[in-house]
Amino acid sequence: MFKKILIANRGEIACRVAATARRMGIQSVAVYSDADAHARHVTFCDEAIAIGPAAASESYLNIDRVIAAAKQSGAEAIHPGYGFLSENEAFAAACEKAGLVFIGPPASAIRAMGSKSAAKSLMEKAQVPLVPGYHGDNQDPVFLQGQADQIGYPVLLKATAGGGGKGMRIVTRSEDFADALSSCQREAKNSFGDERVLVEKYLTRPRHIEIQIFADTQGNCVSLFERDCSVQRRHQKVLEEAPAPGMSEERRQAMSAAAVAAAKAVAYVGAGTVEFIANQDGSFYFMEMNTRLQVEHPVTEMITGTDLVEWQLRVAAGERLPQLQHELTITGHAIEARIYAENPEKGFLPSTGRLDYLHMPQAVQFTQGAVRIDAGVTQGDVISPFYDPMIAKLIVHGKDRAEALARMAQALAAFQVVGPATNVAFLGRLIASEPFAAADLDTGLIERHHDSLFPQPQTLPLAVLALAAVSLVRSATSATGEPWAQLSGWRMNSTYQRSFAFSSEAGVQTIQLSYRRDALWLEAGDLQVPLKDISVSQAAVQVRMDGLQLQGHVVRQQDTFHVFHAGHHWQILWRDPIAHAGEGEADEGRLTAPMPGKIIALLVSAGERVARGAPLLIMEAMKMEHTINAPSDGTVSELLYAVGDQVDEGAQLLSLSVGEA
Ligand code: ADP
Ligand code: ADP
Ligand code: MG
């Protein structure tokens, strides 16, 4: 076995490969771009070598630099992960030339499967069923349109060099063919440097079912069964599961046999996936072969109890497959959800930014089943525009599909991200949706159920308003458990009230908090409920509302509150009346306290020039801090109170001469 390997990738897959290497006593070497100097995979591996600028073409895709890093580190083999150089024939050949083992198939197999057209010709010979279509060399537009007319519409145009759901066009009428073809060719040329296309019958309501195969150098090739990856957006997988719901043993064997035949036709070695498109009646056709480890390989690992990276390492080191076909069985059901930094409401457009707050569910191994998280990021990391916006993969296993689903729903509910937009909430709705729960799967599921998957914004439940308001009660737990008992800024013997206006997509909602002798009361409309046993510890907020124990997490970013409660992420904007108190008074240059409280910090001094919005002083009222900002540009003419002073409602705090100095 190897003593040291280099991992030519980043993110979750680099960490995942390193974890297996560590378990097997193999040293791992990371490579990283300038953008990834502090990335998780860099610290996770035993060594790390910088290979260039952020742009992938100058780092992770730069064959010479990756090979040089491997030589420098003394690694004996390179694991390419997925994406980047994993299906690059020249890279596999360069490894060999440099005396390094490429942990993947022979370069010849990558070449054979690299073009979707050439692969189809090969499969035709191996008698693997193909979608009706044209995959030949003739690229004459008139000829191709003639082929499409013969196949019958709708047809799908695909870049033969394509991948990642790119370079595809559905054409529904002959008249649209020419335009679709040129646009497809343009995208193919831009994305893959090869404008050739193939034409296929476009199946309606198909399922994407793929077979994981594994071959060794001793002539063994097994099927590790199927994965159903039908739930997609933009022809890209969102949820994957194994086994495929409704799969019969007979069909599984037929698909496995076709996949193994495909692998044998190209003298395959290592991990590979043969993707099929299947009709609802179960008939299936070869689509393409991915000559690498797949993103969704963990669902297969979970149902077969294998570690496919370990298999890859053993096969690459010349060992026999750890298990042969008769030793492989399926146990339970596994589902993977890809957590992406993207905006489902905006057509699933990728989103970027810092992961300001990241709380992932706990990984657990149950006697039957598990929750697994494959992540390449930690809180504070940035999802940059340079690479794939996947944040993590959440994988669950249960004794059956229903249990796996329930576990997934629970785990998703505990996945909290503040920073870039994510698909977490969307995944939660998808998992809970009627068609997914009923396993009524096909590649159009998301589009067809768009309306129910994207419901109208809901008004904020009282619990959410209560959690947001309570989170403003700073370091609330006192010895008596009555946070407000020690409060200096309010009058012990009178009722003290404060309004909060929260706005969300559903509009503005106002509540009052009032401090009475016995409790903090929340009032909303006609409703009045006591809030007791308040505890705020960092993001975690607990409160007993009218006898109901509420728990949630509240993450505040300026005036935006992210409330995580009952599996939902609510984004609400707080319009702080104190912060905005001066706005109406700008002309007079006076700033008054809208309620009694204590001055806890002065941020400016007399005579200082301030710009509109500049923080002037911090006031504490009802155990909550508020910054008072300059309502306009001006000069501070006088400060009327000192730190520690109590001020009454309406008291002028400072004066500001408005305008140019
Ligand atoms: P898979 O076929 O393994 O499920 P996808 O179809 O989702 O993968 O992705 C297609 C391609 O997109 C992958 O082959 C890979 O080239 C690229 N890709 C996806 N995720 C990443 C990532 N995190 N880093 C780099 N490339 C990625
Ligand atoms: P990629 O290389 O981008 O993964 P694939 O050929 O694997 O491209 O196709 C990606 C997805 O596009 C499939 O999972 C499926 O949802 C859809 N698709 C591909 N071919 C067809 C077809 N002939 N009819 C209907 N949908 C298809
Ligand atoms: Mg594919």
pLDDT in tens, 342-355: 999 988 988 989 99
The predicted structure's pLDDT at residue 587: 42
Ligand 1 pocket residue status of 232, Cβ below 6 Å:
no
In this prediction, residue 580 has a pLDDT band, given cuts at 50, 70 and 90, of: low
How many A from CA of 540 to the centre of ligand 2? 43
DSSP-assigned beta bridge partners for residue 4: 27
Q: Where in the chain is the domain with CATH 2.40.50.100?
A: 597-658
The listed CATH number (3.10.20.30, 3.90.1300.10, 3.30.700.40, 3.40.50.2000) that belongs to domain 462-574: 3.30.700.40
Domain 207-453 has CATH 3.40.50.300: no
Q: Where in the chain is the domain with CATH 3.30.470.20?
A: 207-453
- Please state, in angstroms and rounded to a whole number, the distance separating the CA atoms of residues 62 and 72: 16
- What is the mean predicted confidence (pLDDT) over 573-595? 62
Q: Of the listed 111, 227, 292, 498, which one is catalytic?
A: 292
In this prediction, residue 585 has a pLDDT band, given cuts at 50, 70 and 90, of: very low
Largest CA distance in the chain: 90
Summarised one tens digit per residue, pLDDT across range 259-311 is: 999 999 999 999 999 999 999 998 999 999 999 999 999 999 999 999 999 99
How many A from CA of 450 to the centre of ligand 1? 25
Q: Where in the chain is the domain with CATH 3.30.700.40?
A: 462-574
- Looking at the predicted structure, is the pLDDT value of residue 660 above 70? no
DSSP-assigned beta bridge partners for residue 647: 597
Is the peptide bond between 455 and the residue preceding it cis, with omega within 30 degrees of 0? no
In contact, 601 and 585? CB cutoff 8 Å: no
How many A from CA of 295 to the centre of ligand 1? 6
The predicted structure's pLDDT at residue 487: 40
Domain 133-201 has CATH 3.40.50.300: no
The predicted structure's pLDDT at residue 480: 38
Ligand 1 pocket residue status of 388, Cβ below 6 Å:
yes
| Phi, psi of 144, deg, nearest 5 | -65, -40
372 part of the active site? no
Summarised one tens digit per residue, pLDDT across range 116-174 is: 999 999 999 988 999 999 999 999 999 999 999 999 999 999 999 998 888 899 999 99
How many A from CA of 503 to the centre of ligand 1? 38
* Architecture of the domain defined by 597-658: Beta Barrel (2.40)
Which residue has a Cα nearest atom 11 of ligand 1? 164
Ligand 1 pocket residue status of 416, Cβ below 6 Å:
no
The predicted structure's pLDDT at residue 515: 77
In this prediction, residue 618 has a pLDDT band, given cuts at 50, 70 and 90, of: confident
Mutate to test the pocket of ligand 1, among 295, 300, 348, 374 (most ligand atoms within 8 A of CB): 295
In contact, 275 and 290? CB cutoff 8 Å: yes
Q: According to DSSP H, which parts of 433-479 are helical?
A: 434-437, 445-448, 450-453, 462-471
Ligand 2 environment, Cβ below 6 A: 131, 156, 158, 162-165, 200-203, 206, 208, 232, 235, 275, 277, 287-288, 443
Ligand 1 pocket residue status of 295, Cβ below 6 Å:
yes
Say whether pTM exceeds 0.75. Answer: yes
Ligand 1 pocket residue status of 52, Cβ below 6 Å:
no
Domain 4-103 has CATH 3.40.50.620: no
* Ligand 2 atom with minimal separation from the 287 CA: 6
* Ligand 2 atom with minimal separation from the 131 CA: 23
Q: According to DSSP H, which parts of 390-461 are helical?
A: 401-413, 424-432, 434-437, 445-448, 450-453
- Please state, in angstroms and rounded to a whole number, the distance separating the CA atoms of residues 234 and 443: 10
Which residue has a Cα nearest atom 16 of ligand 1? 83
